């Protein structure tokens, strides 16, 4: 059985983003003290905590020609031999594969650490009719998406940290 988990670098980046948002929330609430700002900070913190928890729990496993996705919402499995279509959603910071058979579908994101290895495994294992869809996913595309996401998380963390210090020092 092969198990794919969220990339460690991405997970560490999310932890830094979450902790920096806690610092920002603390600095904003201690200086402002209004109910609206506390509510916004609480929503932000809960959203980032949900994403972090989701990343910690999420995993894809491949065993005996079956792909299983486990996340906070449960577990879904799909047989590679029964795939009818592979859809590709190309977002700004990630690529999402939609593996579908006649009855169900599974979303696999490029956030997983060995996503390129997973795509190569699909190129070997899926029926010939759906293989052309995978040609759109290249090493360069995956690398670009991961770099953009990392930079986005770094910018968010930097924003939270600098804004937190500004709130504590000048407000």
Quick: pLDDT tens for 32-50: 666 777 888 889 999 999 9
Number of domains in the chain: 1
> In the chain, pLDDT over 90 holds for what percent of residues?
34
Q: List CB contacts of 169: < 8 A, sequence separation 6 or more.
A: none
- Please report the DSSP string for the chain in residue order: -EEEEB-HHHHHHHHHHHHHHHHHHHHHHHHT--HHHHHHHHHHHHHHHHHHHHHHH-EEEEETTEEEEEETTEEEEEEGGG--EEEEEE-SS-EEEEEE-SS-EEEEETTBTTHHHHHHHHHHHS-GGGGGGGGG--HHHHHHHHHHHHHHHHHHHHHHHHHHHHHHHH-
Question: How high is the pLDDT of residue 114?
Answer: 87
How large is the average pLDDT for residues 15-32? 88
CA distance 99 to 105: 5
Task: Note the pLDDT tens digit of each residue in 93-139.
Answer: 889 999 988 888 899 998 888 888 888 888 888 888 888 888 888 88
Domain region containing 71 = 2-170
């Amino acid at each position: 059985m092969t198990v794919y988990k969220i990339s460690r670098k991405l997970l560490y980046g999310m932890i830094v983003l979450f902790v920096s948002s806690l610092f920002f929330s603390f600095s904003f609430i201690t200086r402002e003290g209004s109910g609206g700002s506390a509510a916004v900070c609480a929503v932000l913190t809960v959203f980032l905590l949900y994403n972090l928890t989701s990343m910690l729990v999420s995993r894809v496993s491949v065993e005996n020609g079956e792909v299983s996705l486990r996340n906070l919402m449960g577990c879904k499995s799909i047989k590679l031999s029964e795939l009818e279509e592979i859809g590709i959603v190309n977002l700004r910071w990630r690529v999402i594969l939609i593996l579908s058979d006649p009855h169900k579908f599974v979303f696999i994101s490029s956030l997983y650490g060995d996503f390129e290895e997973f795509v190569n495994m699909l190129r070997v294992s899926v029926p010939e009719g759906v293989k052309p869809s995978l040609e759109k996913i290249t090493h360069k595309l995956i690398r670009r998406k991961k770099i953009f996401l990392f930079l986005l998380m770094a910018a968010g963390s930097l924003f939270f940290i600098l804004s937190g210090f500004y709130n504590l020092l000048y407000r």
